[in-house]
Amino acid sequence: MKKTFNLVLILISLFSIEAKSQYFASIGNFRPNNDLRFINKPAASFEIGYLSKFEEDTPFRFGVGGQYIRMKPRSELFRQVGFINGNPYELNVKYNSNTFAFLNFYSDYAFVNRDYLNCFAGIGIGGGIFMSEFVSNSIYVNADVIDSNYMFNLKIRAGIEYTINDYITLQASGCYYGFKFFGSSRYSAHDFAIGLLLNFE
């Protein structure tokens, strides 16, 4: 996790070498779909990063961001059935948390591009790690487990930005996520976020 955060800071610094810099911070309501929805509650999503600025003659921009999401389970205990040598047994699983950490690369297009107002759509491509902390109890298994898996993610997003002055811009956006875990199934989620962009010349 610490290495991921350091990598985000390095990439933000490299991107911000441009003459015009725009840093952002956002918080969202992350809502998982598929099987993740039955296990996890909606959670807060936090992201910091850098975006190049929309210019009057350039409706495209690019950026990078680091995102962190920590989900809590809907129930304290989940009962599952396992098999050993064809014999079923009951397995009680207590999830403590499921955590995502992403590194995202963005490309946006402003279909409304004004001095004070931007409406945009774009995509984000990245990867990260998913960590699950849980306790398993049965006649065969009794262990505290921290399981992790790497993944790719694709984000499709749209939003609106309103510039208050030369230094501050407000952003609201919606996003659809598609996840692909290594050696596992595909999952999806969506979120709605609000953010603050700080502009530096």
User: How many angstroms separate the CA atoms of 160 and 169, rounded?
Assistant: 10
Domain ranges of the chain: 2-72+98-128+147-200
Does 2-72+98-128+147-200 carry CATH code 2.40.160.20?
yes
Distance of CA 7 to the CA centre of its chain: 16
Q: Which helix (H) or strand (E) holds 37?
A: helix 34-39
pLDDT in tens, the chain (201 residues): 555 545 545 555 555 445 466 899 999 999 988 777 777 788 999 999 999 888 878 899 999 999 999 888 776 655 555 555 665 555 556 666 778 888 999 999 999 998 889 999 999 998 888 877 656 555 455 555 566 778 888 999 999 999 998 889 999 999 999 888 776 677 889 999 999 999 876
- How many other CB atoms sit within 10 Å of the CB of residue 122? 21
